[in-house]
Amino acid sequence: MNIPTLEDIKKNLKEMTRPLKIKELAKRMGIRQEDYPSFRRMVKEAISAGQLVKARGGRLITEPKKGFVQGKLVMARAGHGFVIPANKSGEIYISPRDLGGALHGEEVKLIIKDTRAGKNREGKVVGVIDREKGRLVGHLYKSRYGMYILPNDPHYKGNIEVDNPRGLTLNENLIVTIRLYPWEASFLPPRGQVEEVLGQAGSPGVDIDSLVISHGLPREFDSGVKPELAKIRRAIPKRELARRRDLRDLLVFTIDPVDAKDHDDAISLEPLKGGNVRLGVHIADVSHYVCEGMTLDREAHVRGNSVYLVDRVIPMLPEKLSSDICSLVEGEDRLTLSFIAELDSQAKVISWEFVESVIQSKASLNYDEVQAYFDKQGKSRIDTKSGKTLDQMLKLSQVFRGQRLEKGSLDFDLPEPTIHLDDEGHVLDIFIQARMPSHQVVEEFMLLANRYAASYLGGQGAPILYRVHPKPDKEKIEIFGALLREMGYDFSFRGEVTPKKLQRVLEVVKGKPEESFVEVILLRSLAKAVYQPENIGHFGLAFPIYTHFTSPIRRYPDLLVHRMLKLLLNRELTSEIISDVASTLKATGAHCTATEIAADEAERDSIKIKQLEFLSERVGGVFDGIVSGVVRPGIFVALAATMVEGFVPFNSIKDDYFIFEEGKHRAYGRRSGRVFKLGDKVRILVVKVDMENRRADFNLVNPEPEKKTKKKR
């Protein structure tokens, strides 16, 4: 056998005046007929590995003219993908035939093709950079050729063949986790091995267990956490109490959701002489228990934040801390960092300070009972003194909110579904949780404390992670403006885009059917708020400087801010500490931003799973809904009462052909002239719920008004 090396092949290709096909190259290099299959296989493997490139017409070149591009692959549900290049040069479209066995979320190497897909460049994947993190969850099936899974995450298209080297007992209808084998070649499908059996499909809790693993969320704490937790005592040493400001006689209380277990903020309000008041925002001093260098700290850093799913919380800190020792529970002494501000009758801050303190919460209140008190609905366990304080807090928060909106702060009021489950995890009910004044009381006080923490630390030159929100992309806002005009609103975004201009949009659409959809589109048009050590302000809140200080139990950046505050308060912040912290802060900010995004995605997915489960028991039911999206094949409809979303294909509407107007986000019937656009009210029939692909199919009920016919004489 006389097979040349890859280097010989590359050398011959470089010597050619024009690219050659495989057969032409074989002839040029004198490959014998019996050796040609092996030669061809070698060339194909080199192409798959990105060592050779197949150009137009099947001709071979050593490397593409434009070089290789590296980036992250994001899969669309339609089966194609987009690569977001590391150099941020614009999205690259990848057709299903050019994915080369790559999967959603993987870092890939690709070549740019000469063709384009609309406005986007088109590419072809020639390699997967890393598949070490390739763990998937799916529904196990068997065929005569072996076992395979259908991944639960709809971003992953197609079946994945699996082996069972551990000899696990496997049957159809199981939900399993698999570990993908390293990427082999672009012409081979992805394969893996079964690692763990989660349980039977449809069993209680298995759906969310699958979600946790699919999103790469942690399930257990590092073993090094246990001995550190064992050393932490619930009782506060007298020496620690003596050096702190004692605020235990203050009327302090927490206001949280009904099912909250981690209470990391409490509030107080005292009347002063002359009509002034003293506001206190008291935050759990987690940094007293979780010190830099501890396994607890490393674990909190890796997690970045707590994750709130529909049936569970994945905490950033173990429950001994998050739900007990650090939590500001009623009737217990707790260590805190307090922001204390004196305000005049116009709610202007006269003086302020941060102090290490100790408090005792007098009541653990929830939003519902506080709102019921505000609305004077029935008897309340809130006593007269606490009630009077709450009334003053409500007035103060309304002034703060008015001041914030006056400066242009964007105030979104998106409806959020609340899901009630039984003990086994089955959905009992779904309803929309309205944003109440009781929420706003806490929200406004936290915003104030966060602003002053950022201002104080920034003014002292302390290295911290700011919570920043960049200005929006001008082009995206112009597209948003064009959409508004198609909906009948005339807004101009000429010149600089300011929060005031966008705030005007929210004011005009408030209370109208399309309000929530305009807010969603605006949110998508804005940049993502991130953590970084450089302050550029917060566009959405219209704050020149801002950080996160008020939730150290569930957010790691807040814990870092607490450490800096305590170093400043105790005059222990040295140039060496500043240098050491600053050197790692940028990477920490990027990591915490990434964990926050992952947590948000997992939370949304967990809600959608339970929404679809709720809907699956109502197939055949008729519901009122609102058009939440318009695409070429049909319309998305969100049910008015539960926000469960489904799809109505246009081909299900008989005797009409619908034309999609892409730039206008609407479609109209060629025969009937009926128009579908965002915010339209419709009535639908639930036809099918597909839990595996996480989608629901609807049909319209009475898709068009009946035509009146003249009666015959």
pLDDT number for residue 10: 84
Query: Alpha-carbon dihedral of residues 290, 291, 295, 299, nearest 10 degrees?
Result: 60
* Nearest-angstrom CA–CA distance, 449 and 445: 6
335 HSE (CA, 13 A, CB side): 26
* Nearest-angstrom CA–CA distance, 457 and 461: 6
Band of the pLDDT at 709, cuts 50, 70, 90?
A: very low
Band of the pLDDT at 711, cuts 50, 70, 90?
A: very low
Other beta carbons within 10 Å of 336: 29
Q: What is the mean pLDDT of residues 170-182?
A: 90
Is the confidence at residue 574, as pLDDT, over 90? yes
Is the confidence at residue 148, as pLDDT, over 60? yes
**Residue 402 DSSP symbol:** H
* Nearest-angstrom CA–CA distance, 103 and 75: 8
pLDDT number for residue 712: 45
pLDDT number for residue 411: 87
Q: How far is CA 343 from the centre of its chain?
A: 37
Band of the pLDDT at 708, cuts 50, 70, 90?
A: very low
Band of the pLDDT at 298, cuts 50, 70, 90?
A: very high
Q: What is the mean pLDDT of residues 444-461?
A: 97
Structure tokens at 101: 């066995």
What is the phi/psi pair of residue 180, to 5°? -70, 140
Q: pLDDT digit string (tens) for 417-449?
A: 889 998 888 899 988 877 889 999 999 999 999
**Residue 579 DSSP symbol:** H
Q: What is the mean pLDDT of residues 377-383?
A: 81
Model pTM? 0.84
Structure tokens at 411: 């105030």
Q: How far is CA 89 from the centre of its chain?
A: 24
Q: What is the mean pLDDT of residues 292-310?
A: 95
Q: How far apart are the first and last CA of the chain?
A: 95
Q: What is the mean pLDDT of residues 467-475?
A: 93
Angle between helices 575-616 and 556-569 (to 10 degrees): 150
**Residue 244 DSSP symbol:** S
Q: pLDDT digit string (tens) for 523-553?
A: 989 999 999 999 999 999 999 999 999 999 9
What is the phi/psi pair of residue 337, to 5°? -110, 125
Longest CA pairwise span in the chain (Å)? 102
Q: pLDDT digit string (tens) for 671-698?
A: 988 999 878 889 999 999 988 778 899 9
Q: pLDDT digit string (tens) for 392-406?
A: 999 999 999 999 999
pLDDT number for residue 34: 85
Torsion sign across C-alpha atoms 294, 299, 302, 307: negative
At residue 422, the 3 state secondary structure works out as coil
Domains recognised in the chain with CATH numbers: 6-61 (1.10.10), 68-128 (2.40.50.140), 135-201 (2.40.50.640), 225-469+532-607 (no CATH), 474-526 (no CATH), 618-700 (2.40.50.140)
pLDDT number for residue 441: 95
Is the confidence at residue 597, as pLDDT, over 70? yes
Q: Show the CA angle centred on residue 286, arms to residues 283 and 287, nearest 5°.
A: 115
* Nearest-angstrom CA–CA distance, 205 and 210: 9
Is the confidence at residue 211, as pLDDT, over 50? yes
pLDDT number for residue 707: 46
Is the confidence at residue 704, as pLDDT, over 80? no
User: What are the angstrom distances between the C-alpha of 326 and each of 207, 307, 449, 552, 561?
Assistant: 31, 18, 19, 10, 16
